[in-house]
């Protein structure tokens, strides 16, 4: 296994009039903010050979005890700049710059919006107010970027100037394509209103983020293989132990950061009736004790592919294309907390008439309900432009054949492509633009505009209202 990483480190330390390092007490440490370490990474590449080859890399997770433990094996780990050949020279990429580095160890003061009964001095004197914490901050390059609106219809509103929408189950004789004029795909002249100018404006709106990301990081490809060794397959071939290949292409993070702090009780109390629910040495369910975190994860990927056949057969693939996912996990007022609780499990086989085992210490991950005085929880969205299932020419995936009529910027039909194949989970706008690309390549001096692609999956407004995960010893 080979890897090559060049790292540039620099301190983001606030200057001080003191020239010597001096110890700080807890009060002084709590007032320190803005310190940390920034890092830039150049020529980042990880290469591992194929499974079973001399230069392969394996990471084994043992699931059982003993010399012949059942296990999961991660191998073929390859991480390199998109477009480069894994294992070859100059296949590394960069992420982080001196203006926008990877940051870790930055101390930031954060204040809850929730107002409650608190003891700010820790002396037993309670007052009404908001708690203030000093959090440990880590952020990837482009951590300050937010998600762009990936739906043209939602971005453009009603600005097309022509009838561009109808109820999905309307009896009107119109086509239902969000954000495009009615009859856009029909074989007749139409007015496309301001579609061309809005399309260009929308493309520039999305490209702005891409340009910012280009300054912060390269696109990367990630490949790895997963195998499982069980009592049922340990004597079989590696093909029978194979689980999946995973490939992520054109991937980079944005808006990704984490804050971590110690979080103690805010002084809330439960009624006797509610406390009675937590018997068997359990604990009240509060996300206000232990290690607290507020995490944001943003990911852009050209494609995410899973392959379930070791030979890489096309029919075994599932591919998500044009992925943009932004997922907040916790916030200052609704953190994700990690703590331990005393938890009494039910003995196996006694579910109908429970027999409780002695309480043991278990790990709990929890996000509590958002305080009523805070309002809206952070929201995230997931967009997937299209999906592919194996071979695009598989007749099981072909949903129909239809003529495509290509239009210029005035809405006039300039070319017709007959009997174009349509595929499952691929929007018609994507099929249309594929034909535009063919036309423009054949007519470099008379090109026609692309139209905004729609998404086959849009999951909007994700927010966590309540989450409790408690581990159990098995």
For 182-205, write each residue's pLDDT tens digit. Answer: 889 999 888 888 899 999 999 999
**Residue 247 in tokens:** 């490939």
**Residue 305 in tokens:** 């592919």
Q: Which of 461, 464, 463 has the alpha carbon at shortest distance from 151?
A: 461
For residue 349, the model assigns a pLDDT of 82
CA 339/CA 362 separation, integer angstroms:
9
Asked if 362 and 472 touch (Cβ cutoff 8 Å), the reply is yes
Phi then psi dihedrals of residue 142, to 5 deg: 65, 30
Q: Tell whether the torsion through CA atoms of 110, 113, 116 and 117 is positive or negative.
A: positive
For residue 69, the model assigns a pLDDT of 86
pTM exceeds 0.75, yes or no: yes
Query: What are the tens digits of pLDDT across the range 36-49?
Result: 788 999 999 999 99
For residue 323, the model assigns a pLDDT of 97
For residue 136, the model assigns a pLDDT of 92
For residue 377, the model assigns a pLDDT of 82
For residue 19, the model assigns a pLDDT of 38
Low-confidence ranges of the chain (pLDDT < 70): 1-35, 163-177, 264-289, 342, 472-474
* Extents of the domains making up the chain: 45-87+107-395+455-470
């Amino acid at each position: 296994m080979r890897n090559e990483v060049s790292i540039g480190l620099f301190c983001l330390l606030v200057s001080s009039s003191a020239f010597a390092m001096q110890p700080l007490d807890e009060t002084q440490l709590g007032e320190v903010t803005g310190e940390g370490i920034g890092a830039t990474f150049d020529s980042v590449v990880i290469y591992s050979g194929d499974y079973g080859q001399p230069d392969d890399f394996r990471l084994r997770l043992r699931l059982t005890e003993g010399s012949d433990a059942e296990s999961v094996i991660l191998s073929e780990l390859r991480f390199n700049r998109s477009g480069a050949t894994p294992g070859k020279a100059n296949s590394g990429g960069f992420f982080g710059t001196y203006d926008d580095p990877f940051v870790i160890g930055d101390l930031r003061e954060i204040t809850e919006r929730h107002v409650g009964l608190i003891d700010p001095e820790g002396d037993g004197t309670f007052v009404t107010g908001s708690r203030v914490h000093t959090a440990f901050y880590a952020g990837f390059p482009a951590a300050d970027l937010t998600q762009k609106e990936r739906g043209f219809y939602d971005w453009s509103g009603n600005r097309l100037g022509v009838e561009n929408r109808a109820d999905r189950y309307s009896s009107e004789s119109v086509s239902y394509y969000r954000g495009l004029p009615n009859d856009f795909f029909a074989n007749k002249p139409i007015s496309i209103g301001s579609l061309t100018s809005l399309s260009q404006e929308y493309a520039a709106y999305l490209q702005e983020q891409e340009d910012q990301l280009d300054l912060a990081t390269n696109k990367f490809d990630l490949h790895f293989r997963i195998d499982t060794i069980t009592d049922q397959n340990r004597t079989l071939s590696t093909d029978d132990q194979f689980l999946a290949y995973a490939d992520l292409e054109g991937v980079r993070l944005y808006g990704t950061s984490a804050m971590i702090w110690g979080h103690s009780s805010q002084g809330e109390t439960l009624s006797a009736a509610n406390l009675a629910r937590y018997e068997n040495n359990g604990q009240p369910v509060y996300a206000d004790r232990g290690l607290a975190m507020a995490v944001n994860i943003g990911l852009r990927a050209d494609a995410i592919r899973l392959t379930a056949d070791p030979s890489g057969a096309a029919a075994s693939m599932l591919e998500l294309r044009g992925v943009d996912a932004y997922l907040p996990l916790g916030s200052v007022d609704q953190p994700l907390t990690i703590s331990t609780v005393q938890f009494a499990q039910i003995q196996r086989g006694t579910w109908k008439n429970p027999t409780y085992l002695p309480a043991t210490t278990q790990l709990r991950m929890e996000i509590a309900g958002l305080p009523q005085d805070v309002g809206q929880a952070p929201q995230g969205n997931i967009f997937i432009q299209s999906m592919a299932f194996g071979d695009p020419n598989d007749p099981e995936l072909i949903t129909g054949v239809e003529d495509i009529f290509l239009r210029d910027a005035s809405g006039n039909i300039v070319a017709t492509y007959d009997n174009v194949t349509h595929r499952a989970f691929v929007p018609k706008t994507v099929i249309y633009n594929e034909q535009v690309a063919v036309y423009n390549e054949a007519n470099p001096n008379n090109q026609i505009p692309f139209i905004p692609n729609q998404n086959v999956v849009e999951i909007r407004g994700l927010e966590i209202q309540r989450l409790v995960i408690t581990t159990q010893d098995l």
